[in-house]
Amino acid sequence: MTLTLVWFRQDLRLADNPALVAAARAGTVLPVYVHDPEAAGAWPPGGASRWWLHHSLASLAAALAERGLALTIRHGPALAALRTLARETGATAVRWNRRYEPALVEQDRRVKQALADDGLDIHSHKAALLHEPWTLRTGQGRAYQAFTPFWRALCRDGEPDRPLPEPAMHAPPSAPTGESLASLQLLPRVRWDEGLRAAWTPGEAGAHERLGAFLRNRLGHYADARDYPATAGTSALSPHLHFGEVSPRQVWHAVRERCAAGTGTEPLADSTGKYLSELGWREFAHHVLFHFPELPDNPLNRRFSAFPWREDPDGRLREAWQAGRTGFPLVDAGMRELWATGWMHNRVRMVAGSLLVKNLRLPWQLGERWFWDTLVDADLANNSLGWQWVAGSGADAAPYFRIFNPVRQGERFDPAGDYVTRWIPELAGLPARYRHAPWTAPADVLAEAGLTLGRDYPRPIVDLKTSRQQALEAFQRVKQGA
């Protein structure tokens, strides 16, 4: 009977796990996690991701223990750790599920070749995406750089495979010694994670609990509610998907089945289509990153390499944006939500990104790095594509002239200011009409609200009209190649 090492990474689940299923069919299973952050190159997990990883690994270890298996934890490098484990246990096969970040693709290539040279049976599997990034091509055989034709091609390719059930697993007679989860030192030494603990339940069970709640309570309203940050209108499954606690195939088919079981009304069907297209956007992000590995660091549109960014020598503008002290309530509420919970509503992400890149005119890479460290769903493909979309420099980018006005966005998508006052309680005394532009409130209204601008809440750090015009002029020069 074959003993197979199953190398867990960002597939921290037991159901719909192709590597685990294949190993269980072949014989006994030894689940392994190798902590090897250096393998990610310039993009090791940020602080919020490390917090999530700790708790997700704890959940996986507990689920395996209930089934009589132990999760063996070792420190990297991955190749050395896997070789040592194979030697210690007599394992003759190693299986894992593929990842698609550039540095990890290269690591997988090296590990696969070296272990095969050692005489081990090596297989990798598709588990993180609906379609492999190399399977969809334009009519000219090129990678897609626009979402709409990519989405059409994905839909033409047919329904994704059905999810695999959790396999029956058999443990080897004895498991090798491993490191403790605490030895990975993933949790912060200064405990800033209270808000994360209150907001999230990492792990496979938490993922399915959140998915079930979304299907029952929010899917039918998703098309209309998803843009309003004060309401729980989205699935908030992104961190669970990133860590592989639920697979995109599981989500896709669960949404399809919920729609089929519904009344057939137009709102549910419309919401289903819109939600599935968001899974498609995730696929698109990985497609672009796989084919354009420079995406996280350099503008895909090379003309933007010469963009005239503003100087911020003392970091005042950057720090105000990071701390949620820009004076624009919708942006500041989002940045404070991010710091407290490790997550931010997608529309607010776009508005906050636009303010940084286009009004403050600071490089998009600054925002990308901040989100990487503070988001629990920090995903290299999605984060990079999103920031280049906002900057206008990437695949399927927003036009250079699209500059979100944070006041108008707030008035449209948070009309009562409920989201703003949830995260900026110092503005709660203002009437709703002033909550997105408190500097426009008359002196007597500010006094009645007990609010002194510049003391209790900052004045805007930039003039929206002037900075918008300056950004348009800068983008026009880039467009013309000046």
Q: Which residue from 367, 460, 463, 351 is spatially nearest to 406, judged by alpha carbons? A: 351
* 346 flagged as catalytic: yes
- Annotated catalytic residue within 132, 166, 179, 278: 278
* 192 flagged as catalytic: no
| Residue 461 CB neighbours (<10 A) | 17
Q: Which residue from 436, 441, 438, 429 is spatially nearest to 411, judged by alpha carbons? A: 436
- Annotated catalytic residue within 343, 370, 387, 389: 387
What size, in residues, is the chain?
Answer: 482
* 281 flagged as catalytic: yes
- Annotated catalytic residue within 179, 298, 309, 411: 309
* 387 flagged as catalytic: yes
* 51 flagged as catalytic: no
- Annotated catalytic residue within 132, 179, 346, 411: 346
- Annotated catalytic residue within 132, 179, 281, 439: 281
- Annotated catalytic residue within 7, 96, 321, 364: 364
Q: Known catalytic residues?
A: 278, 281, 309, 346, 364, 387
